[in-house]
Amino acid sequence: MADPTRPLPNLVPQPDGSWTGRTVLTPTAFTTRGRFTLPPSKVIPVIVVPGIMGSNLRAATSPAKRANKALSPGEAAWRAPNGKFEGLKTARKWRELTPKVRQKILDPDTLEVDARGDIHLPLEARNYGLSEAEARLLRWGEVHWDSYGALLYGLHVGLNHTFDMDPLDNVRVICRHWRDVIACDPARWGVRTTEKITETELEKHAQYYFPVYACGYNWLESCEVSAKQLRRRIERTIAFWTESKRSCEKVILVTHSMGGLVARACAKQIPERILGVVHGAMPALGAPVCYRRIACGTEKWSPTNGKVDNMKAEAVADILGTQPETTMAVMGTSPGVLELLPNHRYPQPWLHLNIVSRVNNKDVSRGVVHLPVGNPYDLYRDLDSWYRMVDPALADPARKYHGDENAVRGAIGMAIDQAEHFHRNMLDTYYHPNTYAFYGADPEQMAFGAIHWVARDPGKGGVFTEANLRSATRAGYGQGGGRKVRVEGRSELHFVPARQDAAGDGTVPQQSGAGPRGQAGQVFDMRGFDHQDAYNHDAVLLLTQHLIVKLVQKMP
């Protein structure tokens, strides 16, 4: 009987083209053999680009950046919580922070990516020679583990283990996880049929080594800045493998949410360096929930959530801010956040002012004003209407702009200008030629396809028209993000934001997620996952591996 074997840590590439590995000497009585696995010499790095709030941030240590007013250099500024206990603890912490402190901590100009985030490898990782030290070299600590850990680890194991030898028959067999990919019902991917992976395609796939990297970015800055950082990461990664005497020409990008916008802008600059892109849950046309959260605070529930999911939503709202004074202080001047607003290609109108009247003992809702009409960025630049997205009086509690209202208005306008520039000039309709995309189209994961401000007619004889509602004046803020409005100086209405109204993934509505249709090689409209947890869904992980194999076939 052959001696048992144990996997040793993954080999490390050397500049002369060789590989080196480390192990330790053991007593002669210890007969278990160590096993190194020699990777192929052809390399296709896979880089995971996370969504908004999926990158860990810290106070800048670089002298090129301004000092953070609330944190010491290197101190953690943003870490999305991992696990229920940490989630409750984080929600409690942020709930107690004032808008002033929030603005100081999350000042885009003072932050940088923090690679020290949690990494929780499963015990079985040792069977594949993967250590936490190697995971940190791959930059996995830059991103939120609960959202992307399963994806990073699953791709690391799955992409680099294609065939096994059957111990009984001593013949080559396809690894179990690839058999699961092949056997997956296309209906779980939202399509009737799709071209299954063949053994011949897997043979070509097995000719490559796939190191799996993460690439975090400062999601408060413009996606244009983040795209340049991603480009540098791609170029450095290819250079590293080339200098190690490996054949490495292109990378594959796997994106989530806002990361898709970053990746598209990057791919437009260096399409020849990218073999292909897999976009997941991307707000391709923007998301009205962005307006809703800035203008009203973060929603605490959804009509399709169960009790546990609504408790989670309430914790998320505590972290992001439940009132407009907390959300505007951070989001109102952040180009990155504003680049998630519905862009010039989102179906119009999507902002509605509704009056509910009592007719024959029934409530009847009447849409009176429908916006935007034409350029949506003009709606965002409107800082005076009662339905304005950003109130300059709430956007600078930390007095970053020294109490100068004109300076605050200028900062808001500049951030919106950056968003419009990014949408129109950096992206518009561009997608890399080799693109796949999936999105949520689930009626059980409702999102905001439109925003409805709703007020009840007080029944005092007032007549409400488009003209007098648009020219009405704000009389104050109400509970739940509502606004008190005075019409023609007489009637007072209390407008509140209505609930979610469209199928989606809880955050991105299906009409935005479907944006790549006609531009991508194939688009998958899926069910069963929440936006932030998209890559924790087993069907999504199987689809991602399936699509990567299809992209590899495009290599000459």
Quick: pLDDT tens for 79-124: 999 999 999 999 999 999 999 999 999 999 999 999 999 999 999 9
Band (253; pLDDT cuts 50, 70, 90): very high
**Are residues 267 and 232 both part of a single domain?**
yes
**Are residues 9 and 25 both part of a single domain?**
yes
Q: How many CB atoms lie within 10 A of CB 274?
A: 24
**Which has the minimum average pLDDT: 35-44, 217-226, 463-472?**
35-44
Range of the domain at 34: 1-38
CB 516 within 8 A of CB 345: no
Return mean pLDDT, the chain. 93
Burial of 180 (0-12, 13-18, 19+ CB in 10 A): middle
* 244: amino acid identity, one letter: S
The reported pLDDT for the residue numbered 165 is 80
Residue 171: both structure tokens together: 């013949």
**Are residues 163 and 187 both part of a single domain?**
yes
**Are residues 275 and 310 both part of a single domain?**
yes
User: Is 50 exceeded by the pLDDT of residue 1?
Assistant: no
The reported pLDDT for the residue numbered 33 is 58
**Are residues 435 and 469 both part of a single domain?**
no
**Are residues 293 and 166 both part of a single domain?**
yes
State the average pLDDT over residues 195-216.
97
Higher pLDDT, 51 or 37: 51
Q: Inter-axis angle of helices 145-159 and 538-552, to 10 degrees?
A: 50
Q: What predicted TM-score, i.e. pTM, was given to this entire model?
A: 0.93
**Are residues 215 and 144 both part of a single domain?**
yes
State the average pLDDT over residues 534-544.
98
Q: What angle do CA 274, 278, 283 make, to 5 degrees?
A: 115
**Which has the minimum average pLDDT: 16-20, 138-142, 160-164, 169-173?**
16-20
**Are residues 317 and 359 both part of a single domain?**
no
The reported pLDDT for the residue numbered 462 is 81
Q: How distant, in Å, are the alpha carbons of 181, 234, 454, 478 from that of 177?
A: 6, 28, 50, 53
Select from 484, 499, 514 the last residue of a domain: 499
Residue 325: both structure tokens together: 């004074």
Domain count within the chain = 3
**Are residues 309 and 367 both part of a single domain?**
no
Band (40; pLDDT cuts 50, 70, 90): confident
d(CA 262, CA 218): 11
Band (359; pLDDT cuts 50, 70, 90): confident
d(CA 432, CA 430): 7
Q: Contacts by 58-63 with C-beta closer than 8 Å and gap 24+? A: 58/111, 58/112, 58/113, 58/114, 58/116, 59/110, 59/111, 59/112, 60/110, 60/111, 60/112, 61/112, 62/112
The reported pLDDT for the residue numbered 167 is 73
What kind and span of H or E run contains 544?
Answer: helix 538-552
Look up residue 427 and give its DSSP letter: I
User: Is 90 exceeded by the pLDDT of residue 20?
Assistant: no
SS3 call for 291: helix
The reported pLDDT for the residue numbered 361 is 84
Band (409; pLDDT cuts 50, 70, 90): very high
The reported pLDDT for the residue numbered 23 is 55
Give the dihedral of Cα atoms 291, 295, 296, 301; nearest 10 deg. 10
User: Is 60 exceeded by the pLDDT of residue 8?
Assistant: no
**Percentage of the chain with pLDDT > 70?**
93
User: Is 90 exceeded by the pLDDT of residue 31?
Assistant: no
**Are residues 14 and 145 both part of a single domain?**
no
Q: Closest Cα to residue 202, out of 536, 462, 441, 552?
A: 552
Burial of 360 (0-12, 13-18, 19+ CB in 10 A): exposed
User: Is 80 exceeded by the pLDDT of residue 237?
Assistant: yes
**Percentage of the chain with pLDDT > 90?**
84
CB 180 within 8 A of CB 158: no
Residue spans of alpha helices (H) in 428-537: 466-470, 510-513
User: Is 50 exceeded by the pLDDT of residue 339?
Assistant: yes
SS3 call for 533: coil
d(CA 257, CA 263): 10
Q: Evaluate the CA torsion angle 75, 81, 85, 91 in order and state its sign.
A: positive
Residues 6+ apart with CB under 8 A from 376: 341, 342, 343, 344, 346, 348
**Are residues 18 and 167 both part of a single domain?**
no
**Are residues 16 and 138 both part of a single domain?**
no
d(CA 231, CA 229): 5
DSSP string, 31-72: -PEEE-----SEE--EEEE--TT-B-EEE--STTSPPPSSS-
Beta bridge partners of 436: 278, 522
Q: Closest Cα to residue 122, out of 92, 157, 94?
A: 157
User: Is 90 exceeded by the pLDDT of residue 300?
Assistant: yes
User: Is 60 exceeded by the pLDDT of residue 160?
Assistant: yes
